[in-house]
C-alpha cells in the first residue's frame, strides 16, 4: 500500500519527466496538496491512496463550493484529480480511476469579451507608455499569449523573414507566427530607434530590469481603460481574444486560426465563433 502523499510525489516527478510546463506542475501541486489536506482532516491522519473513495472527491468539491469557489476552479481541480488517478491506475497503485465517476461542475458558457479594431486603435492611442503600446499592438496582430510575447528574444523575432518563433509555448510546444505588414514597420522602428542599449536578450527590453512583466502590462492596460471611461475589463488576454475574433469575423478558416493561436484542438478555437448582437439583429431582420 502506498501513502497518498508518496503517490503525489511520484506523479509530480513523472510530470517533470514528460516535460510538462512549470505552470502546469505548480497548478497540479496546489490542487493535490489541498485535496490531501482535506483527506487528512477527514481521516484524522495520513491516508493510503487505495482508501480514497469517489465520495471523498465529491465531498472535497462540495467543500470548495461551500467556500465560494467558482465552477471553473472546481472543474480544474477535478481535472487534476483525474490526471493523478489515471497515472496511479497506469502504475497499478489503484484498481481504477475513481475520479472518472465524479460528475464535473456545470460551467456557465460565457461570451468572450473582445475589442473591435477601432477600439484596439483607440486603446493604443491612449496608452502613455511607449513600449507597452508596441507590446499591445504585437499582442493584437499576433494573438500571442502575454507570457509568450514577453518571453520573445532578439533571436526569436526574425524581422527579415517576417516571422516570430514561439519557443516552448503552452503545452511546451513551439510554433511560428507570421508578422503582418501592419506590425512589421512598428517592430523595425522599435529595434532600430527605440530599444534601449541594454545587455538583455529579451526583445521587449526595459532600461532598468531588461524586461517587462505581465503584471505591469495589465496594470497599464487597466489604467488606460479607466482613463478612457470604458466599463469593460481589458487585459492582455483580451487582445488575444480580439485577434481571434476579428479573424473569425473576416471569415479566416478556423484551422488556420488554431495554428496561429497554438491551440491543441479545434474545439478550443471554436469558442471564438461568437457573434455580436448587432450581427444577430441584422440576421433576424433579413426575414
| Active site (catalytic) residues | 145, 170, 237, 240, 263, 272
Please tell me what DSSP assigns to residue 70: -
d(CA 209, CA 245): 34
* Closest to 217 in 3D by CA, of 144, 147, 266: 147
Task: Report strand pairing: 163-166 vs 175-178.
Answer: antiparallel
226: cell is: 479607466
d(CA 267, CA 180): 26
First to last CA, the chain: 68
Is the dihedral angle over the CA atoms 189, 194, 197, 200 positive or is it negative? negative
Spatial CB neighbours of 157, under 8 Å, sequence gap ≥ 6:
164, 165, 179, 187, 203
80: cell is: 487534476
Amino acid at each position: 500500500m502506498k501513502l497518498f502523499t508518496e503517490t503525489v510525489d511520484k506523479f509530480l516527478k513523472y510530470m517533470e519527466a514528460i516535460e510538462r510546463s512549470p505552470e502546469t506542475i505548480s497548478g497540479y501541486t496546489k490542487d493535490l496538496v489541498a485535496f490531501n489536506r482535506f483527506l487528512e482532516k477527514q481521516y484524522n491522519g495520513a491516508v493510503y491512496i487505495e482508501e480514497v473513495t469517489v465520495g471523498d472527491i465529491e465531498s472535497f468539491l462540495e467543500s470548495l463550493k461551500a467556500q465560494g469557489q467558482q465552477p471553473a476552479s472546481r472543474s480544474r481541480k477535478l481535472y487534476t484529480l483525474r490526471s493523478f488517478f489515471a497515472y496511479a491506475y497506469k502504475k497499478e497503485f489503484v484498481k481504477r480511476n475513481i475520479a472518472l465517476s465524479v460528475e464535473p461542475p456545470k460551467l456557465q458558457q460565457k461570451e468572450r469579451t473582445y475589442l473591435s479594431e477601432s477600439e484596439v486603435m483607440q486603446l493604443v492611442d491612449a496608452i502613455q507608455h511607449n513600449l507597452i503600446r508596441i507590446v499591445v499592438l504585437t499582442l493584437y496582430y499576433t494573438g500571442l499569449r502575454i507570457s509568450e510575447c514577453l518571453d520573445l528574444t532578439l533571436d526569436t523575432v526574425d524581422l527579415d523573414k517576417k516571422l516570430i518563433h514561439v519557443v516552448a509555448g503552452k503545452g511546451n510546444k513551439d510554433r511560428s507566427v507570421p508578422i503582418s505588414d501592419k506590425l512589421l514597420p512598428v517592430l523595425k522602428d522599435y529595434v532600430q530607434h527605440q530599444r534601449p542599449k541594454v545587455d538583455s536578450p529579451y526583445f521587449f527590453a526595459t532600461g532598468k530590469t531588461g524586461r517587462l512583466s505581465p503584471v505591469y502590462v495589465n496594470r497599464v492596460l487597466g489604467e488606460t481603460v479607466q482613463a478612457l471611461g470604458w466599463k469593460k475589463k481589458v487585459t492582455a488576454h483580451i487582445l488575444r481574444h480580439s485577434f481571434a475574433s476579428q479573424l473569425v469575423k473576416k471569415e479566416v478558416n478556423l484551422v488556420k486560426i488554431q495554428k496561429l493561436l497554438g491551440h491543441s484542438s479545434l474545439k478550443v478555437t471554436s469558442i471564438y465563433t461568437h457573434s455580436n448582437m448587432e450581427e444577430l439583429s441584422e440576421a433576424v431582420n433579413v426575414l
